[in-house]
Structure 1
Amino acid sequence: MSRRDTTLSSFARGQCLRLPPPQEDAWSWQLRGSCRGYPAETFFPECYSRSEQRKRENAAKVICRQCPVLEQCRAHALRTPETHGVWGAMTAGERARALLRRHEYLPAVSPAGVDHPA
């Protein structure tokens, strides 16, 4: 079995694939984040009632809104896309809706690169 087949087989069994190591210059902004002084569960609340979940998410957003790297964090979460937790003062649902809205405004382009008539 080839290395690729082994990796795909491992993935099929639900095991994690190895990701390349992060490049420090692409992630150094995280070192300046206000979130670094808080436990991870502050920004990744789970297993709570809907009202408790919202309360915890709102508390995380307050921290985010005062953060010096808010815009970088939000851009990262939208670009990646991060599917869990509060990033850049946005929940996963808010980020998903923002991405959908962004795609609504993209011009339709045919495979040949020609715009569709309006």
Structure 2
Amino acid sequence: MGTDREDSAAHWRERAACLNTEDPDLFFPVGSGVLTFEQTNEAKAVCAHCPVMMQCLTWALRAGRVDGIWGGTTEIERRRMKRRHDQMVTG
């Protein structure tokens, strides 16, 4: 059995703000039109008030999630973050 800290870290999803949304598809916008842009912004607004936003983003980056809004970021934003990180590591 893990420590309280480990147990709490492993269950970050249980505290995620997105669990309280009526439509989980909100976090998986499809397309590139105005409605997709609005949906993305609505999902990011939920993330902005989430107590585990950073844990979510860290998980998404480590897991290589390419779809959806995770930790308040889009697929494109996460790719940019990874690219910058890789450039810093390789110098």
| Aligned residue pairs, count | 84
CA pair 69-52 structure 1, distance change in 2 beyond 3 A: same
Q: For structure 2, list consecutive stretches of 5 or more residues without a partner in the other structure.
A: 1-6
Equivalent in the alignment of 1:42:
26
Deviation at 1:50, TM superposition (A): 2.0
Residues 6-60 of structure 1: CA deviation (Å, up to 9, x unaligned): xxxxxxxxxxxxxxxxxx87641000000001121111122x4422111101110
Structure 2 length-normalised TM: 0.82
Q: 1:26 to 1:81 in 2, by over 3 A?
A: farther
CA distance in 2, matches of 1:29, 1:68: 9
Q: Which of these two proteins has the greater Rg computed from alpha carbons? A: 1
For residues 77 and 36 of structure 1, the distance between their equivalents in structure 2, rounded to whole angstroms, comes to 16
Say if 2:73 is the partner of 1:90: yes
Give the Cα–Cα distance (whole angstroms) in 2 for the partners of residues 97 and 107 of structure 1. Answer: 15
3-state secondary structure, aligned to 1:106: helix
Alignment of 1:38-117 (within 5 A): 38=21, 39-46=23-30, 48-107=31-90
Instruction: Render the CA deviation track for 1:54-103: whole Å, top value 9, x for unaligned.
Output: 11011100100100001100100111111100000000111011100111
Alignment partners' CA distance in 2, 1:80 and 1:49: 24
1:97-117 deviations in whole A, cap 9, x for unaligned? 110011111135xxxxxxxxx
RCO comparison, higher one (Cα < 8 Å, 6+): 2
Alpha-carbon distance in structure 1 between the residues aligned to 2:11 and 2:37: 29
* Aligned sequence identity (%): 33
Cα RMSD over matched residues? 1.7
